[in-house]
Structure 1
């Protein structure tokens, strides 16, 4: 893969009571934090060997000594504003630095592999935009070769309308949709996935 490719990873600082709050409403803050840290480790595993540049955008503060190895990941802080403003700013920075294909993901997708990310970058050879739709009506991945400012504006972030509104913005662009995947927001998203059983067993025993 080309050094002209950039992967943006948006992450929350894994702090008790501040991450996976919708999940925490069912399983409690500590179990939600444990699950989030497990998801972060998965994200490191599927991204660290990708032959692309990688930037991790922290929600609160940049942590120097954490699971994101500073020799692999450039560490940055998310800008102020809603999610759209934050993502637009990160894409703008990337294009300004000379990158030609940029993809953003979150850091809590268990249902994502290194191969999926390689495929997404490859798809951008043949299209303007690539999107990974999430089962909840949002998306888990967004990639583009030139900045499409409209996709970051006028969205109700975190709702089931995001994907539809985004595709509406892109109706004049070539867009490839990847496989629909499940992201982890609620207890129901993970209750039947074996990898999460140890966490949920602990929660049920508390």
Structure 2
């Protein structure tokens, strides 16, 4: 992978297939409309990550596509590995560090409020702490950034609950690591999230 510096941004993306993405949202608006919203979110993610001063890898859920809106000449395509979200995130971090990067951040494609400023801030905050988390307003996190692998933060966890962020902070403290937080942003997982975001135009 061509590196502009020692920073790597990993973007977790589900392959955009109707019925396989935004399932909670689809229960309210249907599979086709949920897929359209998901593609809109991925486009916003592309806009937020284009031009940042970090190398980028797109980690796909099921297969590596020949072409995709997130793939560009300066990005690499990976396949997520692991039996659950935590293991997939941990393995992605391990791969990033094994490639020689000293700062690795990971995001998903569910946060329309993400910006280049937030991403740059995440890497800068690693100057003074071990872990950076971006709190999502639903109690999870939209970004995690590390300077070394931290398996305990990801393995054996329960995900998609309102206590994910608080549990993560407790784990970080228990293992003697320091943590800083980014501004809280909103993910889009449910129809209420979508209506609040302003992206819904029925």
- TM-score normalized with structure 1 length: 0.92
Separation of aligned partners in 1, 2:4 and 2:131: 18
Tell me if 1:191 matches 2:195. Answer: yes
In the comparison of the two structures, how many residue pairs are matched? Answer: 198
Deviation of 1:192 (Å): 3.3
The correspondence for 1:180, drawn from 174, 177, 184, is 184
Contact 2:71/2:77 (CA < 8 Å) preserved in 1? no
Residues of 2 paired with 1:151 and 1:48: CA distance? 28
Counterpart Cα distance in 1 of 2:8 and 2:197: 31
After the TM superposition, which parts of structure 1 deviate over 2 Å for at least 4 consecutive aligned residues? none
Match of 2:130 in 1: 128
Q: C-alpha deviations, 1:102-136, integer Å up to 9, x for none?
A: 00000121011111101111111111110011111
Residue ranges of structure 2 left out of the alignment (5+ in a row): none
Instruction: Give the corresponding residue for 2:54.
Output: 52
How far 1:69 sits from its partner (Å)?
2.7
Q: 2: CA distance between counterparts of 1:69 and 1:138?
A: 27
**1:1-206 equivalent positions in 2, closer than 5 A:** 3-171=5-173, 172-194=176-198, 196-198=199-201, 201=202
3-state SS of 1:197 partner:
coil
Deviation, structure 1 residue 154 = 2.3
Q: Deviations over 1:23-51 (max 9, x none)?
A: 11111111110000000001111112111
Task: In structure 1, list runs of 5 or more residues that go unmatched.
Answer: 202-206
What is the distance in 1 between the residues matched to 2:77 and 2:171?
30
CA shift, 1:161, in A, is 2.1
**Partners of 2:99 and 2:36 in 1: how far apart?**
35
Q: Does the CA-based 8 Å contact 2:82-2:91 persist in structure 1?
A: no
> Does structure 1 retain, via aligned residues, the 8 Å contact 2:60–2:78?
yes
* C-alpha distance in structure 2 between counterparts of 1:68 and 1:189, whole Å: 23
For 1:192 and 1:41, locate their aligned partners in 2 and report how far apart those are by CA, in whole Å: 19
TM-score for the superposition, normalised by structure 2: 0.94
Contact 1:64 1:70 in 2 (8 A): no
Over the residues paired in the alignment, what is the CA RMSD in angstroms? 1.3
